[in-house]
């Protein structure tokens, strides 16, 4: 959530006139992240987050915003966008689409414990089940076609060993995603980017620690639930220095998920492939952002070598799976 678009207090006050959420009290830019401009926005009626969309257009955004609204209405702990006085989830500022969502309670946490992993596993399964009747379909915009495009763009900038590895993995994933087994997986709208920094934690460090809420759905798309699980566990359950799973965290997460939405034998057969796909997706995006950066205040690209390590580990590591199986 870097700052690409500077929002003044005067602009914020004018924007708030289109909503029924109170008058401006405070405005503060948020530095983390790399896709959109975000501000904390406090009014006399509550605390909110303003998001200005830098890449997505007004035609694309209803999918993401309606998904958040849909999940929140079904009891999932997610940031819920607010509607304007005319009933729209979208507004405009500085000629760009924007939205305002409730600011979630809780705190950012980098090192998740077992209670946090259990909570996220259960909530992720709840989100998947809640999305089954979400009526809008959208492809994963950072899926196979995007990986292939990014691979060509970054190839002139990386050593041959790097391009050979990601090209080999893209070829493998192309075969997997064309297979009947993959095409039989259950698909719905998923977050697709549910890293630790897209959550807030309540009661952190205690036995009652839990995910207070999930936000930043702007990479969401319709994908297999198994892939979304892989994306999330590849971030939540690993040793960052090696990319390897921490067995206790991985077990806590996947058992909690399975207790809400039981995993199948067919999914087990594709589990390694989805973990590899999830690692590849974020390796490619980090390579792309590192070598082809955009200008933005407060923007620092993520280290691309992290997900290179994760991918290499997933090629042959022991895989977590629910203990009932």
Confidence category of residue 4, pLDDT binned at 50, 70, 90: confident
3-state secondary structure 277-300: HHHHHHHHHHHHHHHCCCCCECCC
So what's the pLDDT on residue 298? 47
Classify burial at 225, counting beta carbons within 10 Å of its beta carbon; exposed 0-12, middle 13-18, buried 19 or more.
Answer: buried
Q: Residues 245, 249, 253, 254: is their CA dihedral positive or negative?
A: positive
Query: What number is the average pLDDT over the span 92-100?
Result: 96
Q: What is the CATH number of domain 114-314?
A: 3.90.1200.10
Average pLDDT across the chain, whole number: 95
CATH topology of domain 9-102: Phosphorylase Kinase; domain 1 (3.30.200)
Query: What number is the average pLDDT over the span 282-299?
Result: 82
CA nearest 40: which of 29, 32, 31? 29
So what's the pLDDT on residue 55? 85
d(CA 282, CA 303): 10
User: How many angstroms from the chain centroid is the CA of residue 20?
Assistant: 29
CA nearest 224: which of 131, 310, 146? 131
Query: What number is the average pLDDT over the span 58-70?
Result: 95
Residue spans per domain, the chain: 9-102, 114-314
> Each residue of 245-263: pLDDT tens digit?
999 999 999 999 999 999 9
Classify burial at 170, counting beta carbons within 10 Å of its beta carbon; exposed 0-12, middle 13-18, buried 19 or more.
Answer: middle
So what's the pLDDT on residue 1? 44
* Predicted confidence (pLDDT) at residue 299 exceeds the cutoff of 80: no
Confidence category of residue 56, pLDDT binned at 50, 70, 90: confident
* Predicted confidence (pLDDT) at residue 301 exceeds the cutoff of 90: no
> Each residue of 126-151: pLDDT tens digit?
999 999 999 999 999 999 999 999 99
Confidence category of residue 296, pLDDT binned at 50, 70, 90: low
pLDDT top residue among 204 and 33 = 204
Q: To the nearest whole percent, how much of the chain has pLDDT over 70?
A: 96
Query: What number is the average pLDDT over the span 278-299?
Result: 85
């Amino acid at each position: 959530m870097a700052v690409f678009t500077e929002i003044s207090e005067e602009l914020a006050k004018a924007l708030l006139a289109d909503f029924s959420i109170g008058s401006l009290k405070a405005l503060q830019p948020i530095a983390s992240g790399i896709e959109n401009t975000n501000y904390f926005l406090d009014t006399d009626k509550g605390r909110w987050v303003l998001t200005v969309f830098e890449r997505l257009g007004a035609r694309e955004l209803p999918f993401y915003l309606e998904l958040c609204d849909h999940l929140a209405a079904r009891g999932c702990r997610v940031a819920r966008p607010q509607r304007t006085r005319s009933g729209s989830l979208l507004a405009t500022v500085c000629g760009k689409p924007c939205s305002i969502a409730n600011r979630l309670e809780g705190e950012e946490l980098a090192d998740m414990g077992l209670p946090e992993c259990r909570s996220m596993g259960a909530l992720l399964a709840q989100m998947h089940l809640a999305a089954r009747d979400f009526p809008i379909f959208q492809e994963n915009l950072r899926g196979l076609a995007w990986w292939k495009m990014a691979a060509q763009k970054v190839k002139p900038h990386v050593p041959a060993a790097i391009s050979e590895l990601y090209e080999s993995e893209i070829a493998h994933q192309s075969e997997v995603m064309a297979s009947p087994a993959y095409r039989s997986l259950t698909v719905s709208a998923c977050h697709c980017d549910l890293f630790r920094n897209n959550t807030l934690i309540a009661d952190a460090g205690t036995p009652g620690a839990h995910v207070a809420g999930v936000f930043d759905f702007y990479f969401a798309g319709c994908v297999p639930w198994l892939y979304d699980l892989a994306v999330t566990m590849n971030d939540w359950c690993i040793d960052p220095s090696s990319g390897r799973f921490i067995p206790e965290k991985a077990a806590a997460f996947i058992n909690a998920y399975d207790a809400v939405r039981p995993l199948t034998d067919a999914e087990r057969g594709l589990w390694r492939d989805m973990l590899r796909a999830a690692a590849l997706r974020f390796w490619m995006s980090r390579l792309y952002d590192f070598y082809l950066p955009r200008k933005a205040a407060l923007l620092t690209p993520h280290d691309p070598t992290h997900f290179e390590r994760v991918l290499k580990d997933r090629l042959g590591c022991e895989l977590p799976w629910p203990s009932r199986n």
